[in-house]
Amino acid sequence: MKNLLFAFCLVLFTVSLAAQQVPYHETKDHDYMAPMIEISPRQPGHSFRNESIFTTQVNVDINGNNIPNDAANEPSLGIDPTNPSRMVIGWRQFDNIASNFRQAGISVTMDQGESWLNLPPIEAGLFRSDPVLATDVNGRFYYNSLAENFDCDVFSSDNLTDWSDKTFAQGGDKQWMVIDNTDNASQGHIYAFWKDFLSVCPGGFTRSTDGNQSYEDCSFVSSGLQRGTMAIGPDGELYACGQLGPGFRVLRSDSARDPNTEVVWETEIATPMKGELAQRAGPNPSGMLGQVWIAVDHSENETRGNAYLLAPVSRSDNGDPADMMMSISRDGGQTWTEAFKIGADASTANWQWFGSVSVAPNGRVDVTWLDSRDNPGTVLSSLYYTFSTDGGETWADDRRLSEAFDPHLGWPQQNKIGDYFHVISDDEGAHLAWAATFNGEQDIYYSYITANPDVLSTRFPETTIATVALAPNPAKDLIQLTIQSELSQNINLLVYDLDGKPIHQENHKLITGEQQISLNCTEWIPGPYWITLESAKGQVSKKVMVVR
């Protein structure tokens, strides 16, 4: 009888707790609404570049134009380690801002992010949220997506466009996923965890040890741990972090590497961050101001194994509503440094929010965040960036990388712009998937940030070809390129398929001004292609075309 009474009370407590959280949870409460009827012509998607950053809009139509009256937020990024030109970004897609019904938005690139192909949502018409993307060591992409009843599915793809491979992955609200790509026996393990009190099963953690074919029964990470992420250490050790009550915790499991052993969290450390996780305020009143992030150094430097914890913190010591705070472990998660502030803003009234952290293969630590310091007294925010090359001992001067935007614009019947951004580092800089309102609405952007502020990124060279337009697009028989060239030059026209293989090549002499080139695509297999124009000096212009 006592056991029954205890169980009944536990259920009542769980239901009560869930009910208190409902306004902030990923549940369906609006039906799908078709896109609004457009009155004015579409405008090109927002993009910009300078010596520090290249940025372009991702959720665009086939001609690179912004799609008005929709919303897109909460992006996650995947990069093919075998061919970094291939990337995928997923997000929460709202087809009509009059409804908060959302789907699994997705866009792909084959040319290092210069141009993006916006695919139909995965399982279009079905409610989905909380996108989390990752790739394995072989370059296969995985998309973890939350469904209506707090269960999660992981979709996977090799060719970027076919996402029909789906596996039920347990799950719950605000899940995160990582894949072990280390050179250890645990290579290929997929781990996921979420809020255990809003879960399809008892517990908030699962693991796949068979390449996404199946997921283990749920188990508990640490009761109540939430709003956090995971990371893999250089030897396959698994870290999880998050908010626990008013504080923060970091957990480590070494047993997770063994597929024949139950996952045990051998280390659990409270990590004081000088306050509580900032959320549901200011710039993002119905959402988080960013999740808790952990990243681990895989380099061969003396910093190998360092772990970096980052979170937006509502400070208890100085009253700041949101500072980007970091703590570092240099002993495998056993001890952590005193939390310190990222960024040089001296005010205690501005908002530093939506931070992300990543460690490059060479050990450089990258941190990005949104910052309202340039517009004090408002929520208008700009993208900021800093990095450390000595394991977090010293940091480069803050760099402002965008104009300010208003995060309160374009709310899709939900007063938030998602809950997180996602950054992934390479040796030269950082790839960032983020959301902003430069078009007066919520849109998804891809940025490549150079780590050296004095060096122009050679990854995205300026082009001497001013404009390239394609028509019709999609095409069936012929597609016409209208090129506006700034000078007379020889160009090499190449067409690539989704695997990055060139299928067609032509050489042309351009004159100054406008000219047209026709391509016969009758024999091409239906699907997306990337058209590249390269001059003798290496200038590049790229466009996506679709053959039907």
> Could you give the domains of the chain?
22-450 (2.120.10.10), 465-547 (2.60.40.1930)
Q: How many CB atoms lie within 10 A of CB 507?
A: 8
Q: Who wins on pLDDT, 412 or 24?
A: 412
> For position 498, what pLDDT does the model report?
81
277, HSE (Cβ side, Cα atoms, 13 Å):
29
Percentage of the chain surpassing pLDDT 70? 92
- Which amino acid does the sequence have at 491? I
**Cis peptide bond upstream of 35, omega within 30:** no
pLDDT band at 50 (very low <50, low <70, confident <90, very high): confident
Structure tokens at 89: 């970004």
- Which amino acid does the sequence have at 299? S
Rounded to whole angstroms, how far apart are CA atoms 538 and 229? 40
User: pLDDT tens-digit profile of 142-168?
Assistant: 999 999 989 999 999 999 999 999 999
Predicted confidence (pLDDT) at residue 14 exceeds the cutoff of 60: no
Nearest CA to 313 among 344, 343, 277?
277
Structure tokens at 24: 């902030």
> For position 545, what pLDDT does the model report?
87
Predicted confidence (pLDDT) at residue 391 exceeds the cutoff of 50: yes
Structure tokens at 195: 């809020």
* Alpha-carbon separation of residue 495 from 85, 505, 545 (angstroms): 15, 6, 10
Rounded to whole angstroms, how far apart are CA atoms 303 and 364? 10
Strands (E), 2-128: 47-49, 53-57, 71-79, 87-94, 103-109, 117-122
Predicted confidence (pLDDT) at residue 22 exceeds the cutoff of 50: no
135, HSE (Cβ side, Cα atoms, 13 Å):
24
- Which amino acid does the sequence have at 332? G
151, HSE (Cβ side, Cα atoms, 13 Å):
11
Specify the DSSP element, H or E, that contains 12.
helix 2-21
Predicted confidence (pLDDT) at residue 7 exceeds the cutoff of 50: no
Rounded to whole angstroms, how far apart are CA atoms 406 and 99? 20
Rounded to whole angstroms, how far apart are CA atoms 504 and 497? 10
Predicted confidence (pLDDT) at residue 23 exceeds the cutoff of 50: no
Q: Is residue 90 a contact partner of residue 76, using CB atoms and an 8 Å limit? A: yes
On average, the pLDDT of the chain sits at 91
pLDDT band at 428 (very low <50, low <70, confident <90, very high): very high
Structure tokens at 210: 């068979």
User: pLDDT tens-digit profile of 327-353?
Assistant: 999 999 999 999 999 999 999 999 999
pTM, 2 dp:
0.91
> For position 19, what pLDDT does the model report?
36
> For position 78, what pLDDT does the model report?
98
The DSSP code for 37 is P
Rounded to whole angstroms, how far apart are CA atoms 504 and 119? 24
Q: How many CB atoms lie within 10 A of CB 348?
A: 12
21: left (phi over 0), alpha (psi -120 to 50) or beta: alpha
> For position 486, what pLDDT does the model report?
81
> For the CA atoms of the chain, what is the radius of gyration?
23
> For position 538, what pLDDT does the model report?
63
User: pLDDT tens-digit profile of 475-497?
Assistant: 999 999 998 888 888 889 999 88
Nearest CA to 59 among 47, 69, 67, 49?
67
* Contact partners, residue 197, CB within 8 Å, separation at least 6: 14, 17, 18, 224
pLDDT band at 535 (very low <50, low <70, confident <90, very high): confident
Nearest CA to 157 among 183, 182, 184, 136?
136
Q: How many CB atoms lie within 10 A of CB 426?
A: 19
Predicted confidence (pLDDT) at residue 461 exceeds the cutoff of 90: no
Structure tokens at 469: 């337009």
> For position 8, what pLDDT does the model report?
35
> For position 25, what pLDDT does the model report?
61
Nearest CA to 455 among 52, 96, 132, 75?
52
* Tokens 């990582």 sit on residue: 178
Rounded to whole angstroms, how far apart are CA atoms 215 and 211? 9
Specify the DSSP element, H or E, that contains 2.
helix 2-21
